[in-house]
Structure formats: C-alpha cells, structure tokens
C-alpha cells in the first residue's frame, strides 16, 4: 500500500516466505486486472446486430419478416380470439399463409434461426430456448397473461 501511495515504510518483509507470498499476491492481482481489462475490451468492441422490430406493432406493420405460431396451439388461439386491432391484423396475415405455422416449438425455433421469420410462442418456453441458444432474442413484452398451477392429490 505504501508503495502505491509513495509513502514509504520502515519495515518490509524480511523472511523468504513473506516475500514469496507478497510476490504471488502481486502476480495474482496483475493476472486478475489483465483478465478483466481483456474481457472489458472484448465486450465493448463486439457490435450487436440491429433488430428493426421493437414490439408487436412493429412486427404487424412490416413485410420483410414473416411471423407465425404453432399450428393448433394456445398462441394461435390467442390471435384467433383477440379483438385488438394489431392482433387481428396479424391473424389475418397468418391465416392467409399456411407456411407460417409450424407443428412444434422446436420447428418454430429452427425456422426463426434459419429464415427471416419471427416465431411467437409462450414466454416461459421462449425464455428456456433463449437460455439454450444465444442466437435467439425476445422482443416486446408478454402479449397476454396465463396462470399456471400444479394439481396434486390431497393427503
């Protein structure tokens, strides 16, 4: 500490073990600071891809990215029954194009990764998929709310 503050010190480590411990501590500190600096530089230099869609309304009002849901799933039913204008617009788009529907979540995620396609699914399942694959992202918030419960036999 006194070395860094240019204050000097009347006593220093005299034993070999104490000098060795001090040297190891300074080397450890140097390695940690170097690793932190390298990681910080890597994080700051990586460019994030631009995503032109910020929410559901942006998705509904564009034509470059197709979008869909699981055929016969709860998300499809949500759009069928919704009375919100952007949801109605999206449902009309989807029902005219059979290719936007997939048979399961894995197929939808794969389609989103390989094509210019946005797959809409339940947020819990999407959060799991995002944890498994860093190339996925979630835009906007949750569209509707669902409550899940656990049924058990009474004891």
User: Using 50, 70 and 90 to split pLDDT, how confident is the model at 7?
Assistant: low
Q: Where are the beta strands (DSSP E) in 23-103?
A: 66-68
Cα 53–Cα 59–Cα 61 angle in degrees, nearest 5: 115
pLDDT in tens, 101-135: 999 999 999 999 999 999 999 888 899 999 999 88
Phi, psi of 78 (to 5 degrees): -60, -45
At 64-88, the pLDDT tens digits run 999 999 999 989 999 999 999 999 9
9 vs 88: which has the higher pLDDT? 88
Residue 51 — pLDDT band, cuts 50, 70, 90?
Answer: confident
Does the model's pTM come out above 0.75? no
Q: What is the pLDDT of residues 11-43, one digit of tens each?
A: 777 889 999 999 999 999 999 999 999 999 998
Write the DSSP string, 68-109.
Answer: E-BTTSHHHHHHHH--SHHHHHHHHHHHT-GGG-BSSHHHHH
Give CA–CA dist 141/125, Å, rounded. Answer: 14
């Amino acid at each position: 500490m006194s070395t860094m503050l240019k204050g000097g010190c009347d006593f220093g480590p005299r034993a070999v073990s104490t000098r060795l411990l001090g040297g190891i501590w300074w080397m450890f500190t140097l390695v940690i600071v170097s690793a932190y600096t390298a990681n910080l530089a890597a994080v700051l230099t990586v460019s994030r891809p631009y995503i032109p869609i910020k929410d559901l309304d942006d998705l509904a009002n564009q034509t470059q990215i197709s979008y869909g849901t699981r055929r016969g799933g709860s998300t499809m039913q949500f759009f069928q029954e919704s009375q919100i204008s952007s949801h109605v617009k999206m449902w009309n788009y989807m029902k005219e194009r059979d290719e936007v529907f997939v048979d399961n979540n894995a197929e939808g995620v794969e389609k989103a990764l390989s094509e210019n396609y946005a797959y809409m699914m339940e947020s819990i399942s999407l959060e799991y998929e995002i944890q498994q694959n860093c190339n996925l992202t979630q835009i906007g918030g949750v569209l509707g709310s669902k409550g899940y419960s656990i049924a058990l036999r009474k004891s």
